Structure formats: C-alpha cells, structure tokens
A and B are shown apart, each in its own frame.
Chain A
Amino acid sequence: MKFCTVKQYFDDENNNNVTNGIATTVIPLPNKHLKIKANNKEMEQYEQELLRNVMPQELTKLILAANYLNFKEALDFFCRTVANAIQNKSVDYVRKFFGLESDFEPGEEEKLCKEFAWSFEGVDED
C-alpha cells in the first residue's frame, strides 16, 4: 500500500509540506509506473518530459512531498534526477542549485580544493 500517508494528508488541514500543485504531480506517478513498468526506455522518456519544465526549487519540493507521503519510488526517482542534474558540475553550480552558501574560512576551501585538484578536471561548464 503506497499511500499510507495520503489519508493523513487529506485529514491535515494545515499542511505545509505538500502543496496542491506538488500533490498533482506526485500522486499520478504510481499509475504511470504500473502502465509502463516493463519498458525502461519509455519510463526514461516520461521522466525527461516530466522534469524538463521543473525548476530545481520545484524538484526539492517534490522530494519533500515524496518523502512526506512515504512514496519510496518517487523519492528514488527524484533523488536520481537531482544527482543526474548535478553530476560533474562545478561547486558553484551545485551551490546555486541548492541555494547554499560557503561557510568555510578563507583558507579552508582552498586547502580542500587543492587536496583533490584532479576531481575538478574536466568538469562541465555551468
């Protein structure tokens, strides 16, 4: 039973975790999964389409929604998508994606970057 939390969601009047828009994206997913379960390529295409127009911030909200609804497949899918989006990207890109700021001391970050200088080679341009 994938939707143990959905009942609670509907019961919860003051729900900050899942907005209506997000719910409409996440909830139809299991049906779609079942329909095109056999065909991996179709699923990939569906995933690409679904997320083409989704901004990073929306993606994070989707993850939170999937987590709250205890929907493991969707959570897995969204985490995978985020990982694909940030793989081989620069540190600045990753920071912007997640809305993070560096909290290192001035020399610390340089030291870290130097330690693994080779991991910054061949990184995709932002």
Chain B
Amino acid sequence: MGRKSKSHSDPTTSMTKKKAKAVKGDEKVGGTDIISKLHPNIVTDILSRLPFNTVLSCRCVCKTWLHLLVDPSFAQLYHTRAHPCIILQPTYRHRNQHLYAVHFDNRNRVRKSSTRIKFATKTHLCMGCNVKLSLLDSCNGLILLGDDCHYHDSVKLNQLYVCNPITGEFVIIKHKPGINLTSFNACLCLGFCPKTQVYKVVRLLKQQYGVEVSNSMLTHVYTLGEKGNGLWKSVNVGESLLDQPTDTIFLNGIIHWVVRSDSGPQFIYSFDVEDECFRPVPPPPEFVSSEQTMRSRWTISLGVLEGCLAIGECAKDAYFHIWVMKDYGVQASWTKAYTIGFTMVTSYSHL
C-alpha cells in the first residue's frame, strides 16, 4: 500500500526541519520545545476554533501567531467555522453607544460573560460623543450602522457606516444628496454577493409626494469597494405597489422581507444582491388558502434556520410556529418544523 498524502505535512521533508528546530528549542525550554513541532496549519486549526475575543488576544502571544492570525486565509477559515454571534444594541439612550456580543461556545451554550464590544464612537469612528449610532443591519460578518442626528421631531440619517465589529475597521458612506432621509421612511440593508465577494448597501424608499402615494419604490444600491466607485446607483423596480420593508433578512445573496400590506397576494419579496432584481418568494401553500385571512401579515417574521429561509408565525391559538423552506423557491417544500406554546409572544428579530 502506498503512502497517501498527509493531513497537514509530509513527514519526510518536515522531519528534517523538525529536527533542526528541535535542537534550537531544546536549548531554550529545557527539552520541551513543543510548538516548533506543530505545523502552522495545525496551529491555525486550533486557533480557528476559539471565540473571537481569545483569537484577538492570541495575537499578543508571539510574532509567529500574529502573522498567522492577520493573514486573510485565517479570516476565511474562521468565518466558515465560527458559531454565529448575536450583536445587540440597548435601546436605552444613554447606553446605546455600546454594542454587546452574545457568543455561543462550542457546546452551543451562552457563555457566562457576554463579551462587550465597546463601540467606541470616540476612538474608532473619530466622532464626538453626541453622535448616536443605530445598528441597522448585519450581513456576513459586517454590520451597518447609521448615525442618528435628531432633527426637530424626526431622526435624520446623515451617514452610514459599514463596520467589522471585531477589528473595528469601517468605511463611511455618505447618502445621496437631494434625498430627505429619515429612519422612518427608508429601509436600509446590507447585502453580500457570494459569487463576486462584494458587499452592497441597499436603500429601499417609498416616496410620498404630498397626497399622492408613489407606486414605485425608490431603490438605490451602493457597492462597497473598488467596483462601486463610491456612488449610489438607482435601480428600476418595475413593480407595482411594493410596500416598503420594515425589516429584512439575508440569505445566500438575497435580501428578503415580508410584504406587510394586504393589498397584494405576495407574502414575501426578495432583492437579489447580484443582479439587483426584485422577485417574489412563494410562501407556504397553507398561507394562500382560504384560511389566509386568519393570518395577519404583522404576526409573521422571517429568519434563517440551518441555511434555509424560515417563517416565524405567532398564531392566534397562542402558539408559535416555525416554517422552513427546505428547497429554496419550491413552495411545496415549506414544512412546519416547530411549534412552541406561548402565553405571550413578542416580536423577535434575527441577526
């Protein structure tokens, strides 16, 4: 039987290297220089299983580890392995300059001490302490923040920030001039196109001109990075009467939301980040039957469960149902996966 390729290193070539290193190491730590025997791939494997706060503190261990951890390939590996982390922003005004991360450990338990990411508007974003940031959306490891500038009675949005909460790196996006934007009439979401590896900020706006309500939804897309040229691009909706989303979720390169108004038959609509087109998504067949009137669209929320689009429904019988679309786009694949009994349910949002 011939030798197969090894998981991490070929023993013959690395053995000579190991011997050479071991000699040097023995002088240092009295014969127990262990780490030099571990191939960098193995060290990376171990480090990629750690919670992000430990990963960051491990940068201070030694120069070799620092180089391993700042390499982009580590970020990619970490992204595939990391457990999801929920970032919360308190609504209490005096505390909302901090973001809190709730991290699940390897056994899916909430860690006792929740890591607090201090969103230092002072140091990270070089802004004065008067600026309050709201957490608008998150996607594929980055978060979208808007600065709330209180202007008379409404909250006006001046700038957007797309930020990596772990490293503190961010980019500033200025709004398109000429559009009067408040946080109440615009839906801002962050999307990621897996094929092109590009992030885009999507702005959905139902413009109201006096008494008439515009039929179209103004849609602007800002592409981050070199491909975007730093400009907002208008996208033609071409659809009649699309309601402005209240909250969105992101799945596989497509932004989804629930159509709240009862005027049209559609429950779920989507915006594909890559081709920038709107498409409806079929809801469970039970939702479009004659029983539909029983289901108010305001009791439905979208989420992602195990990589599939999911609907959370607060039913009138005081039960909470979770439906999962096992095959994307196939209406028959909607399955009622869970039913939870609740006496009182408040709305939830998924990050």
Contacts and interface: CB of A to CB of B under 8 A. Distances in A.
Contacts of A68: 6, 11
B38 A112 contact: no
A10 to B, nearest CB: 12
A99 B42 contact: no
Interface residues on B, range: 35 or more
B115 A80 contact: no
B62 A79 contact: no
Q: Is the interface of A mostly helix, strand, loop or mixed?
A: helix
Contact of A87 (B35, B62, B105): B105
A101 B117 contact: no
B3 A83 contact: no
Contacts of B106: 80, 83-84, 87
B56 A4 contact: no
Contact of B37 (A8, A64, A83, A116): A64
A7 interface: yes
Most buried by B among A7, A75, A79: A79
A120 interface: yes
B7 interface: yes
A94 B111 CA distance: 20
Contacts of A123: 57
Interface of A: 4-5, 7-8, 16-17, 56-57, 60, 63-64, 67-68, 70, 72, 75, 79-80, 82-84, 86-91, 94-95, 98-104, 109, 112-113, 116, 118-123
30 contacts: A4-B3, A4-B4, A8-B3, A16-B19, A17-B11, A17-B15, A63-B38, A64-B38, A67-B9, A67-B42, A75-B42, A79-B42, A82-B46, A83-B46, A83-B50, A86-B50, A87-B50, A87-B105, A87-B106, A88-B54, A91-B61, A101-B29, A103-B63, A112-B59, A118-B116, A119-B115, A120-B57, A121-B113, A121-B116, A122-B113
Considering the complex of A and B, which 8 residue pairs feature the smallest CB-CB distances, nearest first?
Answer: A83-B49, A122-B113, A119-B53, A119-B56, A116-B56, A4-B4, A60-B34, A98-B35
Given A91-B58, A98-B61, 13 more contacts: A4-B3, A5-B4, A64-B38, A83-B46, A83-B49, A86-B46, A86-B50, A91-B57, A95-B61, A101-B28, A116-B56, A118-B116, A119-B56
